[in-house]
Amino acid sequence: MRVSFERTGGFAGISKKTTVDTETLPPHEAATLPRLVEVADLFRLPELITSPNQESDRFQYKLTVEDNGKQHTVTVSESALPGTLRPLIEWFQTVGQKR
> Helix (H, G, I), strand (E, B), or coil: what is residue 26?
coil
Residues pairing with 70 in the sheet: 67
Q: Which of 55, 57, 75 is nearest to 65 (CA)?
A: 75
pLDDT at position 97 over 70: no
What is the number of residues in the chain?
99
pLDDT tens digits along 42-66: 999 999 998 777 666 788 999 999 9
- The whole-model pTM stands at 0.87
Q: What is the pLDDT of residue 42?
A: 93
Asked whether the beta carbons of 42 and 54 are under 8 A apart, the reply is no
> Helix (H, G, I), strand (E, B), or coil: what is residue 23?
coil
Q: What is the pLDDT of residue 57?
A: 73
